[in-house]
Amino acid sequence: MPTDVLLGVLSLVAHAAIAMTAALAAGRRSMDWVGVALLGCVTALGGGSARDVLLGHYPLSWVANPWLLALTAGAALATIALARVVHHLRVVFLILDAIGLVVFTITGCQVALQMNQPLPIVIVAGLITGCVGGVIRDMLCNDIPLLFRAELYASVSVVTGAVYVGALHAGLGVHAAPLVAFVLGLTFRLLAIRYKWEMPKFVYTRDLH
């Protein structure tokens, strides 16, 4: 299977899986069905939308492909019926979330490269695509974003983007470079989950008054 087709399939799976995890977050806060569908869409599509708005890349992905709204909203609503068994699939969802992070990061980098953006912007575009949807979800759920309080996440996105761009510059080509970045990025994220690797934390408890 060609690399671009493989990444496209994984991207669709990741969209659905991330929408489902967002639906579970909505359920923990007793949101109605509209809230469940909306949170699923925003989480799965928010990173790409934020990237496109910041880079002036139009139309947005879900505007050009409205079926993405149906996919993400449908996956979120399906979670309502599957909620009783979803908790048994925690490991599966962690893997799918990791795949989503890596694939979305590569996609974001590709969009920025197509627009001839400089290297720092390419890496940031990948970071935004991979991470911002989850930040929006956590903010809407009144949580401190997972990005800032758990295992390595943003770091995985940055490393994935850097590996992808580096592989392109090393001459691996448009098919091999995404595959190398995907394998290394996914491995990095799964190892971070397994061994609970974290960035150093800043803890300050003294009152200024």
* Residue % of the chain over a pLDDT of 70: 98
Other Cβ atoms less than 10 A from the Cβ of 121: the count is: 16
Could you give the maximum distance between any two Cα atoms of the chain, in Å?
63
* Residue with the two structure tokens 């709204």: 69
The pLDDT of residue 161 is 97
Which pLDDT does position 73 carry in this prediction? 97
Tokens (6 digits) for 124: 């940031």
DSSP result, 77-128: HHHHHHHHHHGGGHHHHHHHHHHHHHHHHHHHHHHHHHTT--HHHHHHHHHH
| Domains of the chain by residue range | 3-195
Q: Are 67 and 144 in contact (CB under 8 A)?
A: no
Terminal alpha carbon distance of the chain: 63
pTM of the model: 0.93
Q: By C-alpha distance, which of 141, 120, 114, 111 is closest to 47?
A: 111
Q: What would the pLDDT profile of 15-71 be if each residue is shown by its tens digit?
A: 999 999 999 999 999 999 999 999 999 999 999 999 999 999 999 999 999 999 999
Cα 68 from Cα 65, distance rounded (Å): 6
How many C-beta atoms lie closer than 10 Å to residue 82's C-beta? 13
Confidence of residue 150 (pLDDT cuts 50, 70, 90): low
Q: Which of 103, 109, 134 is nearest to 123 (CA)?
A: 109
